[in-house]
Amino acid sequence: MNDTNTTKTQLDLELARLEKRIEELLASIDTLKEENRALRQRHESLNNDRAGLLQKNDPREAKVVKEPVFSTKQAKDRAFSILSDCQKKMVQASVTTVGLPDLRAGRQVLIKGVGARFSGLYFVTDTTHTIGSNGYLTKFNARREDDGSATRQ
């Protein structure tokens, strides 16, 4: 009879442990459901932002090129090159800094500390060097050269 009571007590303890584990798992499921819901909302928001950007950039724009292409791969490579050039024009910067005599049009500069969206590699399109009451200043305009993935903060 004592063995029966011990076995019953052990089974009751095991059952209580399993019930507690089931409750923990159910709580985890609820947490995961909430996280999943939040991620789906974020995904939907990003898709809406993307759709808005596509509308602003008129996806129906056509570009005629003079070079012949002889394969699908060549056509895709040419289209990617055109798209890459368009992307470079999407992010531009106008900067005024202390005088930098070596900074000239055609150089590349790495701009950091302005957030992940704007930090990155830029191509300097023009520069103006001035000496005045504020000292020696360099003003330049630049366009984004990379997609930002390598310089995310």
Task: Quote the CA–CA distance of 30 and 32 in Å, as a whole number.
Answer: 5
Q: Is 54 found in the same domain as 11?
A: yes
Domain match, 99 and 142 both: yes
17 lies in some domain? yes
For the entire predicted model, the pTM comes to 0.46
Domains identified in the chain, total number: 2
Q: What is the mean pLDDT of the chain?
A: 85
- Domain assignment present for 81: no
* Predicted local confidence at residue 3, as pLDDT: 74
Residues in the chain: 153
Query: How do residues 85-97 score in pLDDT, each as one tens digit?
Result: 777 777 888 999 9
Domain boundary among 14, 35, 58: 58
Domain assignment of residue 137, given as a range: 90-151
Hey, what amino acid is at 32?
A: L
Name the percent of the chain lying above pLDDT 70.
Answer: 90
| Per-residue pLDDT reduced to its tens digit, 40-81 | 999 999 888 887 777 776 656 667 778 888 999 998 898 888
Backbone angles phi, psi at 26, to 5 degrees: -65, -40
